[in-house]
């Protein structure tokens, strides 16, 4: 069944997602991360506070909370579409927080590996405090996430998140090893890498939130699939806006991927087009030494339809994600999960 994305109401408030249904819950998560956490970070307090106060989208905690609510209703209450009876367990908050901590930790390490100078509109940790501090800060955030994982007291969820950490590393290594390597350009590899480095954390959050409510297996898997497809779409759009948004909007330098030889969907599609293939390959071989060459490459990708095809690819994953929600009866939480999918497609930063 095809879903008309334009039918879903746009109530997202971009700085993050400020949905009415989880607004207060997200504030608790935010306070725990940006105010309470630094209090137990000793010498790292200032750095952790600096990182956690930056304006992240908080999309992953929002997913954990919304799926937690959606799946807390038994089938009878779901049939009556009475979303007022939905509730969260304390573990859902812990899940939301630890998911954001893993994401943030991976970004601190990613920025160091990528030698990025800016994240979320502010200086990166390695630039401000040095390499050693950035490594230990990322490790510390991972450690805090592990502490919280233990607090959930559910071995299946521990196992899911342990697997996520492995997949993040595999995704990152694959990317590092393929830089400027034209022989490794392939849409399937790209989707696998995106699943590992981004979608794995999304699907861990949505699956675990459902598991905490002891849902039947097939519904847990539907929530997993919603998160995974959404996560893949999120990464595809991330890669698209790396080309199409301005640095100021992104909070980091634009066209960073291409500059570093990371070939994402727009480049993969453009290289499939014989009219631009040779010219684009020539530019790639120069490793963009000439400052104007990045914009030249962008123009070639655009003329080949690479950006349009990339958006269509993301739309196809969003449609798959939305399909997984269909069998869940309507509620404010379901609507918000649909809106997140819409937000993923429309975001510019």
Beta bridge partners of 122: 119
Q: What minimum distance in Å lies between the beta carbon of 287 and Mg ion?
A: 18
Q: What minimum distance in Å lies between the beta carbon of 321 and ligand FPP?
A: 18
Q: Which stretch in 29-37, 111-119, 123-131, 305-313 sits in contact with ligand FPP by CB under 6 A?
A: 111-119
**CA atoms of 214 and 11, how far apart (whole Å):** 30
Question: According to CB under 5 A, which one of 18, 54, 110, 323 is a site residue for Mg ion?
Answer: 110
**Using the rule CB under 6 A, is 106 a contact of ligand FPP?**
yes
Taking Cα atoms as reference points, which of 126, 122, 143 lies closest to residue 135?
126
Instruction: Kindly determine how many residues on this chain lie close enough to bind ligand FPP according to the rule CB under 6 A.
Output: 14
Q: What minimum distance in Å lies between the beta carbon of 258 and ligand FPP?
A: 11
**Using the rule CB under 6 A, is 169 a contact of ligand FPP?**
yes
Whichever of 83 and 104 has its CB closer to ligand FPP, that residue is: 104
**Using the rule CB under 6 A, is 200 a contact of ligand FPP?**
no
Q: What minimum distance in Å lies between the beta carbon of 236 and ligand FPP?
A: 11
Question: According to CB under 6 A, which one of 114, 141, 230, 333 is a site residue for ligand FPP?
Answer: 114
**Using the rule CB under 6 A, is 148 a contact of ligand FPP?**
no
**Using the rule CB under 5 A, is 114 a contact of Mg ion?**
yes
Q: What angle do CA 130, 37, 69 make, to 5 degrees?
A: 125
**Using the rule CB under 6 A, is 347 a contact of ligand FPP?**
no
**Using the rule CB under 6 A, is 212 a contact of ligand FPP?**
no
Q: Which residues bind Mg ion (CB under 5 A)?
A: 110, 114
């Amino acid at each position: 069944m095809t879903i008309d994305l334009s039918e879903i109401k746009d109530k997202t408030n971009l700085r993050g997602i400020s949905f009415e249904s989880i607004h207060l819950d997200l504030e608790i998560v935010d306070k725990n991360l940006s105010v309470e956490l630094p209090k137990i970070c000793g010498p790292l307090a200032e750095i952790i506070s600096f990182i956690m106060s930056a304006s992240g989208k908080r999309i992953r905690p929002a997913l954990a909370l919304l799926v937690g609510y959606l799946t807390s209703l038994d089938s009878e209450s779901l049939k009556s579409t009475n979303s007022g009876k939905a509730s969260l367990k304390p573990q859902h908050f812990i899940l939301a927080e630890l998911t954001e901590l893993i994401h943030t930790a991976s970004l601190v390490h990613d920025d160091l590996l990528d030698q990025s100078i800016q994240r979320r509109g502010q200086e990166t940790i390695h630039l401000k405090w040095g390499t050693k501090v950035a490594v230990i800060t990322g490790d510390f955030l991972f450690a805090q996430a592990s502490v919280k994982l233990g607090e959930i007291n559910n071995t299946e969820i521990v196992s899911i998140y342990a697997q996520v950490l492995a997949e993040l590393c595999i995704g990152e290594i694959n990317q590092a090893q393929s830089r400027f390597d034209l022989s490794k350009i392939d849409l399937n590899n790209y989707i696998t890498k995106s699943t590992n480095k981004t979608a794995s954390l999304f699907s861990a959050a949505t699956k675990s939130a459902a598991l905490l409510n002891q849902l039947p297996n097939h519904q847990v898997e539907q929530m997993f699939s919603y998160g995974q497809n959404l996560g893949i779409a999120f990464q595809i759009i991330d890669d698209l806006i790396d080309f199409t948004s301005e640095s100021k909007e992104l909070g980091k330098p634009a066209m960073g991927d291409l500059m570093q030889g990371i070939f994402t969907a727009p480049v993969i599609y453009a290289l499939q087009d014989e009219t631009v293939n040779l010219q684009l390959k020539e530019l790639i071989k120069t490793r963009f030494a000439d400052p104007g060459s990045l914009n030249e490459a962008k123009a070639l990708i655009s003329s080949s339809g690479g950006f349009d095809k990339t958006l269509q690819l993301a739309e196809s994953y969003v449609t798959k994600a939305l399909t997984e929600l269909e069998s869940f009866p309507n509620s404010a939480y379901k609507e918000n999960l649909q809106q997140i999918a819409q937000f993923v497609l429309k975001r510019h930063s």
